[in-house]
């Protein structure tokens, strides 16, 4: 089997206030390393990683396409557009910054307003290596999750790697379970999921259907594809 093969491609967005560590989480998850020279995200960044989810013969290879949105207020309206068509979202706050936690309600509203109703959200409390500076308790985060119907809460550290894989795997596992239960239809192009080359359930009439976002690996791809989509709309 080709190591690039997968059963499903899944679009996941990283969202949350500026400086909470979204880009560092992406770097840790995709490249497995800590980078202390990361700059503020301008607009959006992309990365992907294939993970294996499930047990025994139910195992699936899922290619996660991560969209890292900018948290700075001046980019917020741009970032909002990219929540559209996401299958999952990792909503990030900083456990050492109470303000970042208090802002989360408005981020949840933004994401849910733009994303499909099937969106699966998980919460990541970042920088858990800085316990002595903690301003948000684990209990507060858990309460927020149940109040906002968020699937799970994780305390992560991009610095040490703690809980980073668990956090992303939990959002993908939830999505996979919902596909298996028939609650999410991977053939519906608006839901942020696409069959991959390993998928046995992909009906033959759908083999040529590709989501417009599936081939994006960088900002230039996004601009080019958006232009193509716009020009097609005008025909």
And the tokens for 222? Answer: 């996004």
CA-to-CA dists, residue 233 to 110, 193, 227, 228, 230, angstroms: 26, 22, 10, 9, 5
Could you tell me which stretch among 114-122, 138-146, 155-163, 212-220 binds ligand GTP (CB under 6 A)? Answer: 155-163
User: Site size for ligand GTP, by CB under 6 A?
Assistant: 21
Q: Could you tell me the smallest distance in angstroms from the CB atom of residue 97 to ligand GTP?
A: 10
Q: Which residues pair with residue 94 across a beta bridge?
A: 126
Q: Could you tell me the smallest distance in angstroms from the CB atom of residue 136 to ligand GTP?
A: 14
Smaller CB separation from ligand GTP, 123 or 191: 123
Write out the binding residues for ligand GTP, residues 24-43 only, by CB under 6 A: 24, 36, 38, 40-41
Closest CA to 191 of 5, 9, 6, 7: 9
Q: Is 11 left (phi over 0), alpha (psi -120 to 50) or beta?
A: beta
Alpha-carbon gap, residue 8 to 5, rounded angstroms: 9
* x/- letters, 55..74, toward ligand GTP (CB under 6 A): ---------------xxx--
Task: Report the SS3 class of residue 101.
Answer: helix
- Greatest distance between any 2 Cα atoms in the chain: 59
Judged by CB under 6 A, the residue of 23, 97, 170, 211 near ligand GTP is: 23
Smaller CB separation from ligand GTP, 134 or 148: 134
Write out the binding residues for ligand GTP, residues 86-145 only, by CB under 6 A: 126-127, 129-130
> Residues in the site for ligand GTP, rule: CB under 6 A?
18-24, 36, 38, 40-41, 70-72, 126-127, 129-130, 157-159
């Amino acid at each position: 089997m080709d190591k690039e093969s997968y059963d499903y491609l899944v679009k996941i967005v990283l969202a949350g206030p500026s400086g909470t560590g979204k880009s560092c989480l992406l770097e840790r998850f995709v490249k497995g390393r800590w980078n202390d020279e990361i700059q503020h995200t301008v607009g959006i960044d992309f990365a992907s990683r294939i993970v294996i989810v499930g047990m025994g013969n139910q195992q699936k290879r899922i290619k996660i396409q991560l969209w890292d949105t900018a948290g700075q207020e001046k980019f917020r309206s741009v970032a909002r557009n990219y929540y559209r068509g996401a299958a999952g979202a990792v909503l990030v706050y900083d456990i050492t910054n109470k303000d970042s936690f208090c802002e989360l309600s408005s981020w949840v509203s933004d994401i849910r307003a733009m994303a499909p109703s099937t969106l699966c959200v998980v919460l990541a409390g970042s920088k858990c290596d800085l316990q002595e500076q903690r301003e948000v308790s684990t209990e507060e985060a858990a309460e927020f999750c149940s109040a906002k119907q968020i699937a799970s809460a994780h305390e992560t550290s991009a610095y040490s790697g703690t809980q980073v894989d668990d956090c992303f795997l939990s959002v993908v596992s939830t999505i996979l379970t919902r596909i298996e239960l028939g609650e999410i239809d991977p053939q519906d192009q608006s839901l942020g999921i696409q069959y991959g080359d390993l998928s046995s359930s992909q009906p033959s009439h759908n083999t040529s259907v590709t989501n417009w976002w599936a081939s994006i690996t960088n900002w230039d791809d996004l601009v080019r594809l958006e232009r193509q989509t716009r020009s097609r709309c005008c025909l």
